[in-house]
Amino acid sequence: MEKLNIYPFKKRKVKLSTFLVLLAVMLLPPVSFNIYFSYAKEQMIERLQSDYSEVLRAYSVKLSKDSSKNLEEISRVESVFMNQIKSLEVRVNQLNAFLDKRKKWEDFVKVLLNIFEDQNRTLCYLDFSQEKAIVEFYEVSKNVVSSTFQNSNVSTSLLFEEKLPEGFYLRKYRLEYEAVEK
């Protein structure tokens, strides 16, 4: 005959060995994940240090296992880079403005050289500033039609025209050139 215990309010008891086995089974996955991820983190930091050793050395960045320290170092270096980028952008914009202005002045110098290639023109007034130039000159010619100077940046105006003996005309022109657009 078998002995049965049908007592309804019996408390279940777990043996100590069963408890330890269950505890080990429950703790094994988190511990193994922690070990694996810390090893993967070390490998990633070593790979970053070997790949970017010059940059890390130049900006004195020390990578460690502690992520918060790494983030502080990276944010510090990022702010340094952002300041450098802003200063370089300002410098590039200044250089572009200078080159644009220089190109415009070179175009004006070409116009001036074309004007005074002709032997019958004489300069009477020249005023330069950083923003604009004003040139006034006399022209003596037999042409009835006044000379025109083809350039979109130069405004030409005829100040006066006088008929001279033997079919010559004396004209005074004013050229205004603005290097800075308004």
Average pLDDT of the chain?
Answer: 83
42's CB contacts (< 8 A; 6+ apart) are: 65
The domain in which residue 151 lies consists of 98-178
How many other β-carbons are positioned within 10 Å of the β-carbon of residue 175?
A: 20
CATH number at residue 140: 2.60.40
Contact 175, 134 (CB under 8 A): yes
Q: Is residue 51 part of a domain?
A: no
61 in a structural domain: no
Write out pLDDT tens, residues 65-93.
776 777 787 888 889 889 999 999 999 99
Any domain includes 140? yes
Q: How far apart are CA 67 and CA 47, in angstroms?
A: 16
Residue 9 covered by a domain: no
Reported pTM = 0.48
Residue 167 makes CB contacts below 8 A (sequence gap 6+) with: 142
**Count of structural domains, the chain:** 1
- Does a structural domain hold residue 172? yes
In a domain, 35, yes or no: no
The pLDDT tens digits for 116-133 are 777 778 888 888 887 788
Reduced to 3 states (helix: H, G, I; strand: E, B; else coil), residue 130 is: coil
Would you say residue 108 lies in a domain? yes
- Tell me, yes or no, whether 38 lies in a domain: no
